[in-house]
Chains A and B, each alone.
Chain A
Amino acid sequence: MSKHSDAIGLDVGTSRIVVARKPGEDYEFASQLNAFVCIPRSRITENVLEREKIPHTAVAGGIVVHGNESEKFAGILNAEIRRPMSGGVLDPREPDGLRMIREMISLMIGARSGERQKLCFTVPAAPLGAQESLTYHEATLKQILGELGYQAASINEGLAVIYSELESSNYTGIGISLGGGLCNVCLAYLSVPVMSFSVAKAGDFIDQSAAQMTGERANRIRLTKEDSFHFNGFFADKIHQVIGVYYDDMIRSLVAALKEAFARARDLPKFHRPLPVVLSGGTALPPGFRDRFEKILLEEGFPADISEIRMAQNPLHATAKGALVYALSDL
């Protein structure tokens, strides 16, 4: 087996966990919702879960269903799904978060298959202007992966997008990962990260804000957003209208942060040509998002020349793929 098959890219996002591998010439991906739901324990339920091979864990007084199936069970039981992470990092308010994320990662990647198997996992950047420490989040994930036997290294989410998508510009440009908890931005020059930051307004912000305005559960807003929302259209129903308003708010905040970051930056290298911008992540999926982002960026006026703004080839997998490319390049 070649060394290609050994390395793993792991995108640990607020909303989803994505694993990338390259067993041969092609990349392979697997993803699970980074969420869980507690259901009452019964012999019948346990049998059904076992029979259907639904990932679950028995806990005191109940059963925890995690990953993709948690959404379905939450719908059936009319319960809100719980998530181990919030705002891009492990949620300190979620008592079962650490145990669940360990369980999910373990199920997805398994124990290492060889000596010094390389794994690269994504971490967010600190919010713009904040000195917030991300050490705990990063160290905890590293510990979990170390316990599974992996030689783990971290990579900034935005940089992972660049490593995944900007080969054609020799890994120079701006990578933006629009996730559930955060929008992560990185500017790289010939593969070197020059600056990176995050913006706390992302998919969850849209869901929660729209939920407050409409009285719906945030999970339902998320499903609506993912299933049927698009830009440049007119919606009769309030949910779509409200989602559109908060999407605009999020994009404007992101563009403002980009402008501010460039204004604050000192001693940036000279870019000899306009920079490409790549958008990735589940929050960038609605049709028309790229056009909307471009329109707002042009309206606001960006201090650097932009050559193109484009979507990642596969927005849901780009970050994990970039982490894998980084792991492979380190072999």
Chain B
Amino acid sequence: MRNATNFPGRWSRLADFPSFGEAVRIEWRAGRIADPVKRLRYLRRRMLQTKRRGFHGWGLIAVPLMIAVAAARLPSGSAETMERERGLAVPRAAGAAPSMPPQVWLIEKTEAEEVYSNGLRVDRTFLTANRPRARFPVYSLAGSPVPWRYGGAPVGIVYHTTESLVPPFEEDQNRRLQRLGRNLLEVVRSERAYHFVIDRFGRVYAVVAETDAANHAGNSIWADGEEIYVNLNDSFLGVALEAQTGAAEAVTPAQIQAAKVLTEALRFRYRIPAENCVTHAQVSVNPLNMKVGAHTDWAGDFPFAKLGLPDNYSIPLPSIYAFGFEADPAYERALGMNFGGVALARAQIERQAAAQNTPAAQYRAMLRHRYRDIEAELKQNEGGN
């Protein structure tokens, strides 16, 4: 008798197999994958991860993360039970939001403009190309620093502010507003900075083609379900509202309406989940000092509800609970980073460490080690390309 081929190593020890709880979660997750090939791919990867865990200390990380994330998607009764038993925070956004936006379709398309069924009009006169979107690695929250799959289409939206000069939104400022807006678009185009810009009059400009990556997110992290994305230029679309953090005036009602219909159209086209529509401040990280919030645009006051989205500020920051980044309290106060995701992620990492009887600092160090592995791998791939 021998072990069949195709699985590295031997599955000869009981310890190679997942525990009952893990197996239940793996099965539950697999059961949600309708395609038999994708289901098999998922199971093989998860089982290999289970077998390999223990290498580099990932075992200590994997279980609580799986529990935390799986709990978020379980039926409410089970999730609540698990939450109580494990003392884990469950990443979920506050406020209900429709799972998917209504159908939005293209009505008319010319060289200069696209018009959509929900009222969205996209000006294409500044449209330019950048490098084509690369297949981006998607990592498992369960622990492995090796990508468990690669993605091709956008999976989310990052909202930015342009941080450009914004004069008062008044009639007598009309010429200035127009001139600044046009200058801004020229700069954004030359920098290939965002896919879309919404000017102060609520006009939506397509700048970088959706098929291409825009240079909008830099070092950044987000996660959904059991999947985590690192450096989001390829995986997320960048939408910038002409605005300045700390300016007397926030965005205009026209900008909000434009952002709403643009979000609907993009979410419908790419099947983007609501929890993947987040702000730059939520995703931005500084790997040099391992702090979150390297960029602080939309650190607070982003009008999620007005865009038809749940309050995604309440989602724990994956950069903290998955990779051990920290948010400096003084920095938070100074910049007004008051969204609940920071506190929730902090609490979550404490619980994860406690559940493993591991000092929080040690646990965080392991998470950081994982991030460094991924970062090195990404840099190596960039070099290879």
B2 at the interface (CB under 8 A from A): yes
A315 at the interface (CB under 8 A from B): no
Min CB gap A280→B, angstroms: 16
Min CB gap A152→B, angstroms: 12
Which listed residue, A125, A128, A191, A267, touches B40 by the CB 8 Å rule?
Answer: A191
- CA distance in complex: A289, B37 (Å): 29
| B13 A197 Cβ-Cβ under 8 A | no
Q: What interface size band does chain B fall in?
A: 20 to 34
| A167 B39 Cβ-Cβ under 8 A | yes
**Could you list which residues of chain A lie within 8 angstroms of chain B, going by C-beta atoms?**
123, 125-126, 128-129, 153-156, 158-159, 163, 167, 170-171, 186, 188-197, 261, 264-265, 267, 269-270, 272, 325-326, 328-330
Sampled A-B contacts (14; CB under 8 Å): A128-B1, A155-B4, A155-B6, A170-B30, A171-B39, A188-B4, A192-B17, A192-B44, A193-B6, A193-B7, A196-B2, A197-B1, A267-B14, A269-B14
- What 8 A-B pairs have minimum CB-CB distances, sorted nearest first? A193-B4, A156-B4, A191-B43, A269-B17, A329-B41, A329-B40, A167-B36, A196-B4
**Which of B12-58 touch A at CB < 8 Å?**
12-14, 17-18, 20, 23-24, 26-27, 30-31, 36-41, 43-44, 46-47
- Tell whether A125 pairs with B11 under 8 Å between CB atoms, given A190-B27, A325-B37, A325-B40: no
B362 at the interface (CB under 8 A from A): no
Min CB gap A281→B, angstroms: 17
| A163 B40 Cβ-Cβ under 8 A | yes
- Tell whether A194 pairs with B11 under 8 Å between CB atoms, given A325-B36, A325-B37, A325-B40: yes
| B37 A329 Cβ-Cβ under 8 A | yes
| B37 A196 Cβ-Cβ under 8 A | no
B289 at the interface (CB under 8 A from A): no
**Could you list which residues of chain B lie within 8 angstroms of chain A, going by C-beta atoms?**
1-7, 11-14, 17-18, 20, 23-24, 26-27, 30-31, 36-41, 43-44, 46-47
| A326 B1 Cβ-Cβ under 8 A | no
Chain A residue nearest to B22 (CB atoms) is A190
Residues from chain B with a CB closer than 8 A to the CB of A329 are: 37-38, 40-41, 44
Residues from chain A with a CB closer than 8 A to the CB of B12 are: 267
| B5 A155 Cβ-Cβ under 8 A | yes
Residues from chain B with a CB closer than 8 A to the CB of A155 are: 4-6
| A171 B43 Cβ-Cβ under 8 A | yes
